[in-house]
Structures are given as C-alpha cells and as structure tokens.
Amino acid sequence: MSRPKQKRMVSRPPVMEGFKPFGIPMADLEPVVLLFEEYEAIRLLDYQGMTQMEAAHEMAVSRPTLTRIYEKARMTLAEAFVEGKAIFIAGGNFHTEEYWYRCEECHQILIGDKEMKGCTVCRSRHIRKLSDQPSKADQEKKENQPGFCICLSCNTRIPHLPGVPCKNGICPRCGKPMIRENSYHHLLYKKKKGL
C-alpha cells in the first residue's frame, strides 16, 4: 500500500484562474488543469529562478517529488500550447499558511491570516475560498455519492463509480479524461462556454 501524499506548501495563489488561447472560441476549447502545486513549482523554478533544492525546501517536499511535480506541470502546459487548449489553475494536494479567496464580483485575489466573509475591495459577499482543501473523509464521501462523470470533449455521461474519482476515468467514446458532472470545474467550463 502506498504512502499518502504529503501536502505541498504553496505560498501564494496565481492572480488568474487560467488562460485561453487566442483565435479559438471558448465553446470549441477543451481545458487542461494545472494544479496549484504545479503552478508553484513553475513560479519558484522558472519565474523566481530558484534551484530545485531551494524550491523543494520552499514547498516542503523532497527534490525528486519537486521534479515530478515540475515535469507534470511542463507536460500540462505543453499539451495546452501544442493542442490549443484552455488552462484552468485549480485544485491539487497543497496547503498554505493563509486564507485565499477570489471575489466573484471584482475577481480580486484576497489573502488574509483569518477567514473572511466578504471582499475587502468591492464589499461583495460573493467570495470563493481557494485554499480550503476538503478533508480526506469529505473527499471520500463526495467520491462515494451517486452522480455522473462527463466528458467535456463529446458530452458523454456515464454513471459515477463510487470510490473512483471521475478524473481517473477515460471517456468510452473519445478516450479523453472525464470530470464530475456539476463539479466546480464543470460549472466553470459551462459558464465560460455560455451554456
């Protein structure tokens, strides 16, 4: 039995939720997901210019683990660039010492040392917590609930298999990865496509 993954330290959230390639309507785009810890590895190594040992120490992981995170991030970005896919930055196995929020009205990133009830910029009450990771029990409960997995590429819906994350499933029709129907990422994708 494998060891549970150690949560990776991420010191700051990205200022954006993702990227969209020019020249392709959002309705025709298939997204890839860049996890927060993958974004952090790219930020530390490529933007800040840290060595792998320094970045691994910053993220509280071993250097081989950092290398795996970084390689996966590079593969995700390469897939998006070469195949013209949108990039969503979200999720992952990370922790932070602060509370992160994004205002749904003014789209600002809010960072604080205590929980917030509203946006400090526009005073909206519509904020979404970015740094709150569900507990293992909550995640297992969600994975065991009935529902459907859906393919964003061809809209194939299949019944969700309890205990198996939808992202681990492959569409039987087109071979693309599946996501959980009506999950945050599915709703964001539908919103961006105007569905």
pLDDT at 145: 67
pLDDT tens digits, residue range 34-75?
998 999 999 999 999 999 999 999 998 999 999 999 999 999
One domain for residues 82 and 9 = yes
Query: Of the residues 97, 125, 157, which one is the last residue of a structural domain?
Result: 97
One domain for residues 12 and 91 = yes
Domain count, the chain: 2
pLDDT at 57: 92
> Angle of helix 63-83 relative to helix 52-59, nearest 10 degrees?
100
In a domain, 168, yes or no: yes
Q: Which residues constitute the domain of residue 182? A: 134-195
Q: Using an 8 Å Cβ cutoff, are 189 and 153 in contact?
A: no
One domain for residues 37 and 93 = yes
pLDDT at 1: 43
One domain for residues 33 and 82 = yes
Q: How much is the pTM? A: 0.61
Question: Distance between CA 10 and CA 38 in Å, rounded?
Answer: 10
pLDDT at 141: 53
In a domain, 154, yes or no: yes
Question: Distance between CA 86 and CA 91 in Å, rounded?
Answer: 16
Buried residues in 41-77 as b, exposed as e (16+ CB within 10 A): bbbbbeeeebeeeebbbbbebeeebbbebbeebeebb
pLDDT at 3: 52
In a domain, 85, yes or no: yes
Helix (H, G, I), strand (E, B) or coil at 57: helix
pLDDT at 40: 93
Question: Distance between CA 101 and CA 82 in Å, rounded?
Answer: 31
In a domain, 25, yes or no: yes
Query: How many alpha carbons lie under 13 Å from residue 119 in its C-beta half-sphere?
Result: 16
One domain for residues 79 and 148 = no
- 195 residues of the chain, pLDDT tens digit each: 445 556 788 877 888 888 888 888 877 788 899 998 999 999 999 999 999 999 999 998 999 999 999 999 999 999 999 999 999 888 777 777 778 888 888 888 887 778 888 888 888 888 888 765 443 444 455 556 678 888 888 888 888 887 777 777 888 888 888 888 887 667 777 766 666
